[in-house]
Structure 1
Amino acid sequence: METIRISEEEKEFGFDQLGKIIKEYDVSTIVVGLPKNMNGTIGPRGEASQFFAGELERLFGLPVVLWDERLTTMAAERVLLEADVSRKKRKKVIDKMAASMILQGYLDSRK
C-alpha cells in the first residue's frame, strides 16, 4: 500500500501520482478517510477531506467514498505498541497502518 502525503500549503495534492495508481491497478472506487470530531461533527480537516474527495471525483470520474477515520490512528498505534515496534519505526508506518484500517473498514462493510 502506498501512502501519498498532501500539502495544502504547497498546493500539492498528489493527483498525478494517484492518476498513475488508478490506471495501474484499474481502480473502480476511491476511499478517503473522513476525520470527524468525536461528537460526529465535521470540522476544518473534515471539510478539507470533503473538498479533496470532490476533486478526486471530478478529476478521475470515479465514485469516492468518505469513510469515518475516527480512532484509526489510535488503533494502529495500539497494534504497533502491542507488537513492540520501536517509536522510530512506528512513526514511519503509522499512517499506512491507519489507511489500511480505513480501507478494511470500508471493505468489511460491503460484505
Structure 2
Amino acid sequence: MGLDVGEKTIGIAVSDLMGWTAQGVETIRRTRLEADLQRLQELIQQWEVDSVVCGLPRNMNGTYGPKADEVRKFGSLIEKRLKIPVHFWDERLTTVAAHKTLLEGDMSRAKRKKVVDKLAAVLILQNYIDANSCKKQS
C-alpha cells in the first residue's frame, strides 16, 4: 500500500497481487488520528496488504524538513499500532506530476482536488515497485 500523507488528506494506492502495478483506492479526509488509523486498518485488511510505503517529503536539495519528521512519526505509528512494516520513499515532485497528468486529461479544478492525493500515492507506490523490481533483477 502506498500513502501520500498530508495534513488534511491521505492518498491511498495498492498494488495488484503480483506487485507490478499501483492503483488508486481512495483519499482519506483526515479528522482524528484514531479515525485515520482505523480506516487504514480496514483498507489494509480489505486489500490484504503486507507492507506500507509512505511518501517522504524532501527538499529539492535532498534535505529533510519538518514535514518529513511528521511523516516518519505517522509511519512509526502505523508500524507500531497496525503491526505492519513501513518503508519510506522519496516523494519529490509526485504531487506536481499528479497535477500535470490531471491537467493533461483536461480535468476540472474541483475534480483534480478530489483525486490528486490518490494519484500521488499511485506514483509513490509505482516508483517504489519499479525501483525494487530493478534491484531483484540485478
TM-score (ref. length: structure 1): 0.89
Greater strand percent: which structure?
Answer: 2
Equivalent pair of 2:27/2:115 in contact (CA under 8 Å): no
Greater RCO (Cα-Cα under 8 Å, separation 6 or more):
2
Residue 27 of structure 2 corresponds to which residue in structure 1? 3
Are residues 1:31 and 2:53 paired? yes
How far did 1:13 drift?
A: 6.1
Residue 78 of structure 1 corresponds to which residue in structure 2? 100
How far did 1:6 drift?
A: 3.1
Say if 1:5 and 1:68 are closer, same or farther in 2 by CA, change over 3 A.
Answer: farther
Q: Quick one: which of 80, 99, 105 aligns to 1:58?
A: 80
Say if 1:98 and 1:28 are closer, same or farther in 2 by CA, change over 3 A.
Answer: same
Letter in 2 for 1:81: L
Structure 1 unpaired stretches of 5+:
none
CA distance in 1: counterparts of 2:35 and 2:60, whole angstroms:
26
- 3-state SS, counterpart of residue 27 of structure 2: coil
- For residues 67-107 of structure 1, give each alpha carbon's deviation from its aligned partner in whole angstroms, at most 9, with x where no partner exists: 11110011011111111111221111111111111111111
How far did 1:3 drift?
A: 2.1
Say if 1:59 and 1:32 are closer, same or farther in 2 by CA, change over 3 A.
Answer: same
TM-score (ref. length: structure 2): 0.73
| Identity of matched residues, % | 48
Count of aligned pairs between the two proteins: 109
**Root-mean-square deviation over aligned CA pairs:** 1.5
How far did 1:12 drift?
A: 5.3
- For residues 14-59 of structure 1, give each alpha carbon's deviation from its aligned partner in whole angstroms, at most 9, with x where no partner exists: 1111111112222100111111111111111100000011111111
CA distance in 1: counterparts of 2:35 and 2:61, whole angstroms:
28
CA distance in 1: counterparts of 2:35 and 2:74, whole angstroms:
8
Structure 2 unpaired stretches of 5+:
1-24, 134-138
How far did 1:65 drift?
A: 0.8
